[in-house]
Amino acid sequence: MGFAMRARQSGPPVAVGIDLGTSCCRIGLWRDGDVLIVPNERGCLATPNCVGFLDCTGPVVGDAAAEQAAVNLKNTIFAPQRLLGATYDSPWAQRLRLQGPPEIVKGEDDSALYSIQDRGKSRLMRPEEVLAVLLHEMKRQVEQCLGVTVKCAVCTVPSKYGQKQRKALTEALHKAQLEVLALVKAPTSAAIAFSLTNPIEGPRNVLVLDFGACYCDFCLLTLHGKCLYERAVGSEFVDLDSLLVRFCLTDIKLRLGIDMSSDWAALLRLSMACESAKRKLSQWNQTRVNVEALIQGSDYCVAMSRSYFEEFCSRDIDSLMEIFDICLVESGLERDAVDVVLVGGSSRIPRFRRLVKDFFRGQQPSELLRPDHAAVLGAAVYAAALAPPAPGNSGKEDSEGEKRPGPTEPDSTPSTRAGVGTGMVGTGSGGGNPGIYSFDGLRLEEILPWSVLLETSSAPAPEDLEHLLDVPCNEAFGPRPPRESFVKRPSQSYPVTQ
Where does the pLDDT of residue 443 fall: very low under 50, low under 70, confident under 90, or very high at 90 and above? low
Beta-carbon contacts of 78 under 8 Å, excluding residues fewer than 6 positions away, are 48, 49, 50, 66, 69
Domain 201-238+315-366+444-489: which CATH class? alpha beta
Cis amide leading into 102 (omega within 30): yes
The predicted model gives 113-127 an average pLDDT of 93
Look up the CATH number of domain 240-312: 3.90.640.10
The rounded distance, in Å, linking the Cα atoms of 289 and 279 is 11
The predicted model gives 393-407 an average pLDDT of 43
- Mark residue 347 as left, alpha or beta (left: phi above 0; alpha: psi -120 to 50; beta: remaining): alpha
The rounded distance, in Å, linking the Cα atoms of 19 and 211 is 14
Q: Is the pTM of this model over 0.85?
A: no
More confident residue, 112 or 402: 112
Where in the chain do CATH 3.30.30.30 domains reside?
52-130
pLDDT of residue 464: 40
Coil, helix or strand at residue 205: strand
For the stretch 298-322, pLDDT in tens is 899 999 999 999 988 899 899 999 9
Where in the chain do CATH 3.90.640.10 domains reside?
240-312
- The DSSP letter of residue 200 is -
Answer yes or no: are the C-beta atoms of 448 and 230 closer than 8 Å. Answer: yes
Domain 13-46+132-187+374-443: which CATH class? alpha beta
Where does the pLDDT of residue 371 fall: very low under 50, low under 70, confident under 90, or very high at 90 and above? confident
For the stretch 123-145, pLDDT in tens is 999 999 999 999 999 999 999 99
pLDDT of residue 393: 54
Q: Is residue 295 predicted with pLDDT exceeding 90?
A: no
Burial letters for 314-348: b for 16+ Cβ neighbours within 10 Å, e otherwise?
eebbeebeebbebbbebbebeeeebbbbbbbbbbb
Mean pLDDT of the chain: 78
In this structure, what are the phi and psi dihedrals at residue 163, rounded to the nearest 5 degrees?
-65, -35
- The one-letter amino acid code at 250 reads T
The reply to whether CATH 3.30.30.30 applies to domain 52-130 is yes
pLDDT of residue 137: 95
The rounded distance, in Å, linking the Cα atoms of 483 and 470 is 13
For the stretch 239-248, pLDDT in tens is 899 999 999 9
